[in-house]
Amino acid sequence: MSVKRYDLIVIGSGPAGIAALEAAREAGAGRVAVIEAADRLGGECPNTGCVPTKALLRTAEVMELARRAGEFGLEIPEIRLDFAGAMRRKDRIVDSLTSGGRLEGYLESLRAELVRGRATFVSRDGIEVSGQTYEADRIVIAAGSETVTPPVEGLAEAGYLTHAEILSVERVPESLLIIGGGPIGIEFAHLFAVFGSRVELVEIAPRLVPREDEELAAVVEYSFRKRGIGLHLASRAAAVRRDGGQAVVQVMPVAGGEARELSGEMLLVAAGKRPALRGLRVEKADIELDGRGAPVLNEYLQTTNPAVYVAGDAAGQMMYTHVAHDQGYVAGINAIQGNEERSDLSVIPRVIFCRPEIASVGLTEKEAGERGHDVIVGRGAYSGVGKGLVTGQQDGLVKLVADRRDGKLLGGHILGEAASELIHEIALAMKAGLPYTAIAGLTHAYPTFAEAVGVAAYGMVE
In a domain, 221, yes or no: yes
Compute how many other C-beta atoms are within 10 angstroms of the C-beta atom of residue 62. 13
pLDDT at 167: 97
**Residue 186 contacts by C-beta under 8 Å, 6 or more apart in sequence?**
201, 208, 209, 220, 224, 352, 354
For residue 350, is it within any domain? no
In the chain, what is the straight-line distance between the N-terminal and C-terminal CA atoms, in Å?
73
Q: Residue 26: inside a domain, yes or no?
A: yes
H or E element that contains 106 = helix 102-109
For residues 272, 275, 280 and 286, what is the CA-based torsion angle, rounded to 10 degrees? -140
- Residue-wise pLDDT for 355-401, tens only, equals 999 999 999 999 999 999 999 999 999 999 999 999 999 999 999 99
Confidence category of residue 462, pLDDT binned at 50, 70, 90: confident
398 phi and psi angles, rounded to 5 deg: -110, 130
Q: Are residues 417 and 432 in the same domain?
A: yes
Report the CATH number at residue 382.
3.30.390.30
Beta strands in 301-390 (DSSP E): 308-310, 350-352, 358-362, 375-381
Tell me the C-alpha distance between 49 and 164, whole Å.
7
**124: confidence class by pLDDT, cuts 50, 70, 90:** very high
Ordered DSSP codes for 51-98: HHHHHHHHHHHHHHHHHTGGGGT---S-----HHHHHHHHHHHHHHHH
* Amino acid, res. 428: L
Query: Which H helix or E strand runs over 428?
Result: helix 419-431
Same domain membership, residue 408 and residue 259: no
The reply to whether 349 falls in a domain is no
Its pTM stands at 0.95
- The CATH code of the domain that includes 229 is 3.50.50.60
Domain end marker among 217, 245, 271: 271
Q: Are residues 360 and 251 in the same domain?
A: no
Q: Is 90 within the bounds of a domain? A: yes
Burial 169-179 (b: 16+ CB within 10 A, else e): eeebbebbbbb
> Is residue 73 domain-resident?
yes
Residues 185 and 283 in one domain: no
pLDDT of residue 147: 93
User: Is the same domain home to 321 and 227?
Assistant: no
Q: Report how many domains make up the chain.
A: 3
Shared domain check, 290 and 165: no
pLDDT per residue as tens digits for the range 407-454? 999 999 999 999 999 999 999 999 999 999 999 999 999 999 999 999
Q: Which of 338, 337, 349, 297 is nearest to 141 (CA)?
A: 297
Q: Which long-range contacts (CB under 8 A, 24 or more apart) does 104-108 make?
A: 104/41, 106/18, 107/13, 107/21, 107/34, 107/41
What letter represents residue 294's amino acid?
Answer: A
In a domain, 24, yes or no: yes
Whether residue 1 is predicted with pLDDT greater than 80 in this model: the reply is no
b/e per residue, 96-113, with b = 16+ CB within 10 A?
Answer: ebbeeeebeebbeeeebe
Q: Are residues 280 and 263 in the same domain?
A: no
Amino acid (1-letter code) at residue 173: P
Give percent of the chain above pLDDT 70: 100
- pLDDT of res. 257: 86
Residues 68 and 126 in one domain: yes
The C-alpha atoms of residue 280 and residue 278 are separated, in whole angstroms, by 6
- The bridge status of strand 126-129 relative to strand 120-121 is antiparallel
Same domain, 264 and 282: no
Question: Final residue of a domain: which of 226, 244, 271?
Answer: 271
Give SS3 for 165: helix
pLDDT of residue 256: 86
Sequence-ordered list of residues with C-beta below 8 angstroms from that of 114, at least 6 positions apart, any chain: 13, 33, 34, 36, 41, 104, 107
Residue 65 CA to residue 56 CA, distance in Å, equals 14
Domain check: are 184 and 125 in the same one?
no
What residue numbers bound the domain in which 321 lies?
4-146+274-337
If asked whether residues 236 and 302 sit together in one domain, one would say: no
Q: Pairing state of beta strands 132-141 and 308-310? A: parallel
Same domain, 112 and 192: no
Q: Check residue 2 and give its pLDDT.
A: 87
**Number of CB atoms found within 10 A of residue 2's CB:** 6
Answer with the one of 245, 271, 297 that is the final residue of a domain: 271
CA 250 remoteness from chain centre:
28
Report phi then psi at 280, rounded to 5: -80, -15
| pLDDT 10s digits, 187-211 | 999 999 999 999 999 999 999 999 9
* 322 belongs to a structural domain: yes
